[in-house]
Amino acid sequence: MNEQEFRTCSVTGLKVHLPAEKLIKANTITAVIFIAIGGLAALGAAFTRWPAFHILPAEWFYRVLTAHGLDMLIVWVIFFEVAALYIGSAVLLNSRLAAPTVGWISYFLMLGGAVLTNIMVLSGKADVLFTSYPPLMAHPFYYTGIILFAVGALIGVFLFFATLYKARKEKTYTAQSFPLVTFGLFAAAAIATTTLLHGAGIYIPTLLWSLGLTGMDPSAYRLVWWALGHASQQINVCAMISIWYLIGALSVGMKPINEKLCRTAFVLYILFINVASEHHLLVDPVFSNAHKIWNTGYIMHLAVLASMIHALAVPAGMEVALRKQGYTKGLFEWFKMAPWGNPAFSGAILSIFMFGFLGGITGVTFGTEQINITAHNTWRITGHFHGTVVGGTTMAFMAVTYYILPLIFRREVWAMKLAKIQPWLFGVGITLVSGGMMLAGAYGVPRRHWDIVNFGGSPFAFSWDPTVYMWIGVFGIGAILAALGGIAYVVVTLGTVMYGKKLA
Amino acid sequence: MSDEHGNGRFVAPGTFVLALIFLITFIAVYFLNFKYLSTIWELH
Alpha carbon of A3 to those of A16, A88, A94, A96, B3: distances in Å? 10, 20, 11, 10, 39
CB contact under 8 A, B12 and A442: no
> Which residues of chain A does B11 touch, with a Cβ-Cβ cutoff of 8 Å?
257, 316, 319-320, 323
Query: ipTM strictly over 0.95?
Result: no
> Which residues of chain A does B20 touch, with a Cβ-Cβ cutoff of 8 Å?
none
Lowest-confidence range among A1-5, A355-359, A437-441, B5-9?
B5-9
Give me the pLDDT at residue A300, please: 78
CB contact under 8 A, B4 and A257: yes
CB contact under 8 A, B14 and A331: yes
CB contact under 8 A, B15 and A315: yes
Residue B42 contacts A where some CB pair is shorter than 8 Å: no
Lowest-confidence range among A5-19, A352-366, A392-406?
A5-19
State the average pLDDT for chain A: 93
pLDDT digits (tens, 9 = 90+) for A436-450: 999 999 999 999 899
- Alpha-carbon distance of A313 to A244, in angstroms, equals 10
CB contact under 8 A, B29 and A374: no
CB contact under 8 A, B30 and A311: no
pLDDT digits (tens, 9 = 90+) for A265-297: 999 999 887 777 778 888 888 888 887 877 777
A5 or A185, greater pLDDT: A185
CB contact under 8 A, B12 and A365: no
> Which residues of chain A does B29 touch, with a Cβ-Cβ cutoff of 8 Å?
361-362, 365
CB contact under 8 A, A356 and B34: no
Residue A6 has φ and ψ, to the nearest 5°, of: -120, 155
Omega into A285 within 30° of 0, i.e. cis?
no
Give me the pLDDT at residue A273, please: 78
Work out how many CB contacts closer than 8 A connect A with B: 66
**Mean of the pLDDT values across residues A79-94?**
96
Residue pair A158/A105 in contact (Cβ under 8 Å)? The answer is no
Give me the pLDDT at residue A143, please: 97
Residue A224 has a CB neighbour count (10 Å cut-off) of 19
Residue pair A438/A362 in contact (Cβ under 8 Å)? The answer is yes
Alpha-carbon gap: A372 to the closest alpha carbon of chain B (Å): 10
Residue B27 contacts A where some CB pair is shorter than 8 Å: no
Percent of chain A's residues with pLDDT above 90: 79
> Which residues of chain A does B26 touch, with a Cβ-Cβ cutoff of 8 Å?
361, 364
Exposure class string for A69-99: b at 16+ Cβ within 10 A, else e: bbbbbbbbbbbbbbbbbbbbbbbbbbbbbbb
- Alpha-carbon distance of A370 to A14, in angstroms, equals 51
Nearest to B25 among A334, A357, A371 (CB): A357
Residue A317 has a CB neighbour count (10 Å cut-off) of 27
> Which residues of chain A does B25 touch, with a Cβ-Cβ cutoff of 8 Å?
357, 361
